[in-house]
A and B are shown apart, each in its own frame.
Chain A
Amino acid sequence: MQVELRGITKCFGSLRANDSISLAVSPASVMGILGENGAGKSTLMKILSGFYSPDSGDIVLDGKKITISSPADAIRQGIGMLHQDPLDFPPLRVIDDFILGRKGGILPGRKKAAREFRELATRFDFALDTEAYVDTLTVGERQQLEILRLLWLGARVLILDEPTTGISLPQKEKLFATLRKLAAEGMTVLFVSHKLEDVEALCDAACVLRQGKLVGTMKPPFQARALVEMMFGKEVELAPRTHIEPGKNILCAKGVCLDGIRIQIKGVDLEVRSGEVIGLAGMEGSGQALFLGACAGLSQPTDGCFCLDDGASGPDGRNMTGRTHHDFKRNGVAYLPAARLEEGLVPGLSLTEHFVLSEGPRGLGARKGPFIDKKKADALARERITTYNIKGRPDSTVESLSGGNQQRALLALMRTPLNLVLVEHPTRGLDIESTIYIWSKLKERCSQGTAIVFISSDLDEILQYSDRVLVFYSGRVTPPLEAESLSVERLGRLIGGKGWDELAPEAAHA
């Protein structure tokens, strides 16, 4: 089936997630859709599969203009999407999950469906037991189930969103073989990924999105360098950086292994020194959030340990194995999550109430005791609001603030002194003014001897503010790299899984 998108535009509030994107995919081919996080890949695919409706623009199938009202409608018209997290029902049996999306019929007709399921499975050499429960399957098997289901429902266009995250290598090879076979049979496949090697291995063509716009398409042979440049833009001129001489070790990660839901990290060694800024780069879900959370005591390493300098336990610091986030907090660690309203702030509570919660009676300068000194609390809130330039009143609830002001509020909630600040996406979704402001406040902490570890998907931000950089790719972690020796292009290649072989000899001092 010939798929054509004409001038698709979709806005969320003031954000243009898709900006008049036009794209044609010919039948019997695999088209790779590349782009960094937030480039608009998922939005575009969700429009094609009926999750969103576009603000403007047309979807054309085989030369006929169509409208898609829902995902169910999309599959009726032959468009099926395999989501990054498979949309299945873990408590159900495979066969029940398989027949769920079918239209019509009062009786399930399991027997006939099971026969057809087995025929399909044999065709693609999938070993799936119809009676097994979905939650006993691996992510790869769940994808297989989902692919069979979509085929059975009559999909002639198959969209796969980051399908190679979290599946094993043999499963990936089988998936690619299946997709090639399907394409050879006439299927149109759209393959969303940020992994260059996957696109090289599989796709007949690739297009790149950046900041909601289609910036280019390419046919094989693919040039990784050109693709990276399209994904991340041209190398920008860096502003002069303020360098702070690093001091003593604040945090040591010794052979840390972590087990996430979809990702495993093995043996990370890192020493964070006071006054230093460490950037964690990588595509979302490559393990950096898992690592940062573990630095805050939010999850426990399966092997190795974190040691924190507490000024008393000698040069190696205190082993924090088995300690909770609150123990880390008591040792001067602050954690600023990216999901501000979900994990950092309490919607429904005012700014003043937040300051009272984080500071307690001592921070307020009030007498000890169970009662809150409302006058002192109000005074503190006013002071912080002025210092951090928050556009809000002491009694403003946090959800009424803009994103930038919520981020400022999170910064304002940090206590003094701190040894280590861990920040997820410090400036995501913020305008330039807020970005500069947030970093000036973070750098101010550095000059007081606080170390900062942050995650960002903005390569410029990583290179601009970090002293050293760790790159994450599918759970693999580079040794710390000196930021000054990195270019946007090289960082982009590392994030996309390229150039890892030549790393070892030039690793910076860890």
Chain B
Amino acid sequence: MRDTKPTRALFQTGSIVLALLLATVVLLLAKADPIAAYKNIALGAAGSWDVVANVFVSWVPLLLATSGLLVTFTVGLWNIGIEGQITLGAVFTTWAMRLMQDSGWNPAIIIALAVLAGMMGGALWAMLAGALKTFGGVNEIFGGLGLNFVATALNIWLIFGPWKRPGIASMSGTLPFERNLWMPIAEGSSRLTPATLILAIVGILVVYALLEGTYFGLKLKAVGKNPKSAYILGIPTWQHMMTSFAICGLFAGLAGAVQVTAVYHRLIPSISSGYGYMGLMVAMLVGFRASLAAPVALFFAALNVGSIQLPIVLKLDSSLAGVLQGTIVLFVILGQGVRDRLLKKAKVGS
């Protein structure tokens, strides 16, 4: 076997087919009709303009999280703490909004400042994980995981404590902001906010340009692939790791800010909605290349939104989307592994 584009494509499509087969088996075990399930997912994700808009609402924070993660993955870091960074972004945004909501300032300025505050919050939380790694010798996976729990606890405490609704605290979150403090929604849609779409698109373009075209991106790559050599080549290693943490945190914080200002208009307990973990999957699936992140994130968002139909129509649990996403990632990575082994064998054999 040789390493050519067709074999690569063959392995990738094969992996996706296998993932679909496995999901089908799961459906059959659950005594559900697979065809009906897939049809419902498709309809749920593309059946009407409204659901398509919902897919994009889900795409924005997912793509933002993925964009940030591409930076940390490039430098060789597993920023699993991104969930907490999204949460902290949402918390900081809410905090800023609460401070400014009665100020009588122009809503656009309030929203912009709140979004910036969210980005700062995300960056702060990410740099905390980075500092733990750099100065405390705590692996970023463990540090990030720990900080995720702290972020969740902080969020719940705020919702049920200082920021609770007047009267009773509720799982449904803090009191929603005034309508005029929502990110403007597109004409004829119930949820889609064009401004956030622009943010997500600009975000991934910035990351693409950063990683593909700049000295900084190349240095990140070098550190990620071999920190020892990178150091000997004159690249300050930990400083680059720290910076990439901060950049990823900015993106995660932005995702959290979008969740607060454009999606929920308040702080809710599960404000990160698992977009951080899903972003990890998307980044792995695209092999950490920025060029493919947007379409793949869109596909994952569609699976997410589409599967909301399942419990309603087929009385199935909507976690099927998660099963599908997980198996696709697993099989694609497995496919790469098998391909590499075969290539190695072919090389030794020749």
Contact = CB atoms under 8 A, between A and B. Distances in A.
Given A326-B236, A372-B215, A342 B231 contact: no
Contacts of A329: 234
Given A326-B236, A329-B234, A358-B233, A342 B226 contact: yes
B232 A344 contact: yes
B213 interface: yes
Interface in A348-401: 348-349, 353-354, 356-358, 360-361, 370-372
Contacts of A356: 215, 218
Contacts of B218: 349, 353, 356-357, 372
A356 B217 CA distance: 12
Interface string B206-224: 0001000111101101100
B216 A370 contact: yes
A366 to B, nearest CB: 10
A357 B233 contact: yes
Contacts of B233: 346, 354, 357-358, 413
Interface in B217-266: 218-219, 221-222, 225-226, 228-236
B264 to A, nearest CB: 36
A341 B228 CA distance: 10
B213 A346 contact: no
Contacts of B214: 370-372
Contacts of B226: 341-342, 345-348
A371 B213 CA distance: 6
A365 to B, nearest CB: 14
Contact of B222 (A349, A371, A372): A349
B222 to A, nearest CB: 5
A497 B236 CA distance: 40
Contact of A346 (B216, B229, B236): B229
B225 A347 contact: yes
Interface string A320-351: 00000110010000010100011111111100
Nearest to B235: A357
A344 B234 CA distance: 11
Contacts of B215: 356, 360-361, 370-372
Given A342-B229, A370-B214, A358 B222 contact: no
Contacts of B221: 346, 348-349, 353
Given A361-B215, A370-B214, A372-B215, A346 B234 contact: no
Contacts of A371: 209, 213-215
Nearest to B223: A346
A356 B231 CA distance: 15
A483 B278 CA distance: 64
A346 B219 contact: no
A356 B233 CA distance: 11
Contacts of B228: 342-343
Nearest to A353: B218
Interface residues of B, number: 20
A342 B222 CA distance: 12
Contacts of A342: 226, 228-229
Given A360-B215, A372-B218, A325 B231 contact: yes
Contacts of B222: 346, 349, 353, 357
A345 B209 CA distance: 24
B81 to A, nearest CB: 26
B74 to A, nearest CB: 11
A342 B229 CA distance: 6
A339 to B, nearest CB: 9
Interface in B69-107: none
Given A329-B234, A356-B218, A357-B222, A372 B213 contact: yes
Nearest to A415: B234
Nearest to B231: A325
B229 A345 contact: yes
Contacts of B213: 371-372
A90 B216 CA distance: 40
Contacts of A360: 215
A348 B232 CA distance: 16
A325 B237 CA distance: 12
A346 B225 contact: yes
Interface in B307-349: none
A469 to B, nearest CB: 26
Contacts of B219: 357
A417 to B, nearest CB: 16
A358 B231 CA distance: 11
Which of B215, B228, B229, B231 counts the most A-chain CB atoms under 10 A from its CB? B229
B18 to A, nearest CB: 28
A341 B235 CA distance: 16
A247 to B, nearest CB: 26
Nearest to A296: B232
A343 B225 contact: no
B340 to A, nearest CB: 14
Contacts of A346: 221-222, 225-226, 229-230, 233
A342 B227 CA distance: 9
A349 B229 CA distance: 11
B346 to A, nearest CB: 16
A289 B222 CA distance: 25
A443 to B, nearest CB: 23
A39 to B, nearest CB: 27
B211 to A, nearest CB: 11
A325 B232 contact: yes
Contacts of B235: 357
B229 A358 contact: no
Which of A341, A357, A413 counts the most B-chain CB atoms under 10 A from its CB? A357
Interface in B178-223: 209, 213-216, 218-219, 221-222
B234 A343 contact: no
B71 to A, nearest CB: 14
Contacts of B234: 326, 329, 357-358
Which of B213, B218, B230 counts the most A-chain CB atoms under 10 A from its CB? B218
Which of A346, A353, A356, A360 counts the most B-chain CB atoms under 10 A from its CB? A346
Interface of B: 209, 213-216, 218-219, 221-222, 225-226, 228-236
12 contacts: A326-B236, A346-B226, A346-B229, A346-B233, A348-B226, A353-B218, A353-B221, A357-B230, A357-B235, A371-B209, A372-B215, A372-B218
Closest 3 CB pairs of A and B: A370-B214, A346-B226, A348-B225
Given A346-B229, A357-B219, A361-B215, 8 more contacts: A325-B231, A342-B228, A345-B226, A346-B225, A346-B226, A353-B222, A356-B215, A372-B215
Interface of A: 325-326, 329, 335, 337, 341-349, 353-354, 356-358, 360-361, 370-372, 413
